[in-house]
Amino acid sequence: MISNFEIGIDLGTANILVYSKNKGIALNEPSVVAIDTVTNNIVAVGTEAKEMIGKTPEKMIVIRPLKGGVIADFNITTEMLKHMMRKASKKGGFTLRKPNVIVSIPSGSTSVERRAIQDAVQNAGAKKIQLIEEPVAAAIGAGLPVDEPVANVVVDIGGGNTEVAIISFGGVVACHSIKIGGDRLDDEIISYVRKQYNILIGERTAENIKMEIGYALVDHEELLMDVRGRDLVTGLPKTISLSSYEIRDAMKESLLQILEAIRATLEDCPAELSGDIVDRGVILTGGGSLMKGMEEWLSHEIFVPVQLADSPLESVAIGTGRALPFMNKLLPTMK
């Protein structure tokens, strides 16, 4: 058992957050790595690497080594973690000499995927590692009383997946995890603009569109945005105007799948806890929960109160840091 943890890590598909017990959130950077394909050396990590997406010369590639909350490229993930932990140690006031680490993992991950995460963190310099499921960490980070006999419903919409869980007495009562998150919504926007306008846009442009005019609510005040991309017919740059109604239609299928995962989890809830959900409602965490109209839309669809956590982007990372008193109840020790 990690009796004296030093850092907590939210190993997200879109962002990696490092929580230090001394300083709180010590690092929050994109899970992106730029690599020189000639030498195989890492050129940039995090924010610096993300700014290079779609702008690199031929001999350089920018990749996300994490997909759907799990490791897609083990070696690069390990190197990325080394860089991130080194950077976080300067801000977070902890030593890099074999720190004890608590790491969040998707609830739907397999034993092989969990072992890969554990090995990567260990290779990056950790001494002891404890794993905690993301929705549980999100609930703790959102300030919910997870160790009490009441239903705590958390919907964590991340970059690679969405986790929905009902937590009571320190354990997961019901849970659903789907491989749909912010990245899938970005891909759908790219696909829509390509099909509808014959315009090719990049990942960062799609993300900006989602953040600026993306709406979960069907009925909303229309927003417009000018978008630049490459015309696939002429090959020349072109500017088009997009409506928030169009973007809502483009994201419709994925939003409905997220809704279906929430409904399926609520259906699995024991009758005794159902009353708590009506009273206490649902808490939203993760970057995807920040989409305009998400609270109102979900509340209208599932007929229970829905509210945003105080720090939705940081809830999982904060939860890993505050999880220590609950660890005996939540998960077996991983050495």
Domain 145-180+257-312 matches domain 182-250 at the CATH topology level: no
Mean pLDDT across the chain = 89
- For the stretch 317-327, pLDDT in tens is 999 988 876 66
Alpha-carbon distance 95 to 76, whole Å?
23
Nearest alpha-carbon partner for 158 in 288, 327, 325, 3: 288
pLDDT at 254 > cutoff 80 = yes
The backbone region for 46, taken as left when phi is positive above 0, alpha when psi lies in -120 to 50, beta otherwise, is left
Q: How far apart (Å, rounded) are the C-alpha atoms in residues 140 and 186?
A: 29
Report the binding-site residues.
13-15, 207-210, 287-290
Domain ranges within the chain, ordered by starting residue: 7-137+316-330, 145-180+257-312, 182-250
Sign of CA dihedral 56, 59, 60, 66: positive
Query: Could you tell me which residues are annotated as the binding site for ATP?
Result: 13-15, 207-210, 287-290
Who's near 208: CB < 8 A, 6+ residues apart? none
The top-scoring range by mean pLDDT among 143-147, 192-196, 331-335 is: 192-196
Pick the CATH number of 182-250 from 3.40.50.300, 3.30.450.40, 3.30.70.260, 3.90.640.10: 3.90.640.10
pLDDT tops 90 at residue 200: yes
pLDDT (tens digit, 9 = 90+) per residue, 163-188?
999 998 878 899 999 999 999 999 99
pLDDT at 97 over 80: no
Of the two residues 279 and 91, the one the predictor is more confident about is: 279
* Range name among 68-82, 84-98, 114-128, 195-209 with the lowest pLDDT average: 84-98
CATH entry 3.40.50.10130 includes domain 7-137+316-330:
no
Location of structure tokens 């409602």: 281
Matching residue, tokens 């997200």:
12
Please state which CATH number belongs to domain 145-180+257-312: 3.30.420.40
